[in-house]
Structure 1
Amino acid sequence: MFYRVLILCFSLSFFLASGSATAHANNPHEAIGDDLAEQLASQLTHDNHSHYGSNIGVTRWVLAETLEQPQAGDSLNELSHQLSESIYAHLKERNLSLVEFRAKSYISVAEEGATLLSRDVDELEQHPEIDWVLVGTLSRKDAGTMVNLRIVDRRNQEVLAAANRYVPKHLYWPNKQTELVNGRLQRH
């Protein structure tokens, strides 16, 4: 046990001494997330929106036509998940105040490991302090998807910033022959 604590302390001090972590693009999803985050942050600062002290929550992105999450097996399901998760680092790097509303007030420790995040509504803060919400929609277009993002003020539904980017399908669904689109199996 002593050695575990010693290794943990050494690892933590090494991590903290190495400077702040920055978002970077190693794969196409990260590059797209970085691009979109840059657009949003630029618009927020350019339009003189006072974002200091305003807490932003990030939601999972949905299909524009139905406003529902893409189904498992749909190529947009993975894209929605990867982009909405990766944009956290890119927005934080730009000094925006983010709120992780999926965080519980305690750490759950189980045989499988320790967790803090949850989707169980009963375990989460019922009224998180979120001023703005980053929402996104995905629309199939040609041989890819149009990703549309907006930061919405929760108090009056005003759109404070918006960004969009076309993502070619080969970047998020490479070498796949079939997928589930609108509940139907589709071959490519």
Structure 2
Amino acid sequence: MKTRILSGLTLSIVMLSGCQMMGTQPAPQAVETTPMTPKVAKFREIEVLYEALEEQAPEAEQPIDPGFISERHRKQVANYASQIALELSDSLLGVHPHSVAVTSFVSFDDTLRSSNQLGNQLAENLIHAFQKLGYAALDFKSQQQIQVTRSGDFLFSRDSRALPGKPEPSHVLSGTMIYRDRGVEVNARLLDFESRLVVASCMVTIPYFVLDSGATAAR
């Protein structure tokens, strides 16, 4: 009987203790929220929309490398003329030209008599490039007299009748131009003027991005 009374008292004490503990716990405080202004609400709406679009956007594909294409570069036709002169000089074995005439480079066609801005520019640059390497360049377009006019004083001429035939060059430098997909293939050769033997040759390719729009037009 005493055991039942003690058990009942114990249960009552436990229940009272639980009620007291529950009653003493602090009530959760409400989180204060600051009301958003219409402007802030609009920015938040745009931000949420942007985040949703980013999640739906597919991964960007890796760009395909189109090769070296540049609108700004430091290469010039003169650089390729210097390369041609150096390669020709390196291939000269036991030959010492004492005077070199440089003619226009021509398109590789049926006539081999069609040149353009590039062909004439290569010839002009090669005169300078060969002379820098220590070879005497013979300018056969120079007259033996100076023409004085109102518009200027002139030494050069393209009239063969006004040009002297002497002295003759010991060697002639010229070549052909072939138009490939990505550039102009220039085949240069140095010939003995008397025997027409090729004593040196080389090949370089000038990319189209180096040339202006009219450089390869027919003249």
User: If the length of structure 1 is used for normalisation, what is the TM-score?
Assistant: 0.70
- Deviation sequence 1:56-113 (CA, Å, 0-9, x none): 111011012231223xxxxxx2211211111111100011111111110001111111
Secondary structure of the 2:89 match is: helix
Structure-2 residue corresponding to 1:48: 94
- Name 1:68's counterpart in structure 2: 113
Q: Distance in 1 between matches of 2:180 and 2:204?
A: 11
Query: Which structure has the highest strand share of the two?
Result: 1
Opposite residue 130 of structure 1, the aligned amino acid is P
Is 1:90 aligned to residue 134 of structure 2?
no
Cα shift at 1:126 = 2.3
Give the direction of change, closer, same or farther, for the CA distance of 1:48–1:125 in structure 2 (3 Å limit).
same
Q: For structure 1, which runs of at least 5 residues remain unmatched after alignment? A: 1-25, 71-76, 184-188
**Selected match of 1:138 from 172, 177, 182:** 177
| Distance (Å, rounded) in 2 between the aligned partners of 1:40 and 1:121 | 28
RMSD, matched Cα: 2.0
Percent identity between the aligned chains?
25
Aligned 1:101-140 pairs, distance under 5 A: 101-140=140-179
Cα displacement (A) at 1:180: 5.1
Structure 1 stretches of 4+ with a deviation exceeding 3 A read none
Cα distance per residue 1:131-155 (max 9 Å; x no partner) = 1100110001112110011011122
Contact preservation (8 Å) 2:117, 2:217: no
**Structure 2 length normalisation: TM-score?**
0.61
In 1: Cα distance, 2:134 partner to 2:101 partner: 14
Q: Could you list the runs of 5+ residues in structure 2 that have no partner in the other structure?
A: 1-73
Any conservation in 1 of the 2:88–2:200 contact (CA below 8 Å)?
Answer: yes
Distance 1:129 1:180, change over 3 A: closer
Which protein is bigger by CA-based radius of gyration?
2
1:28 counterpart = 2:76:
yes
CA–CA distance in 2 between the matches of 1:81 and 1:156? 25
Instruction: Write the letter of the residue equivalent to 2:121.
Output: Q
- Matched residues in 2 for 1:132 and 1:107: separation? 26
Q: How many residues align?
A: 144
Task: Report the counterpart of residue 10 of structure 1 in structure 2.
Answer: none
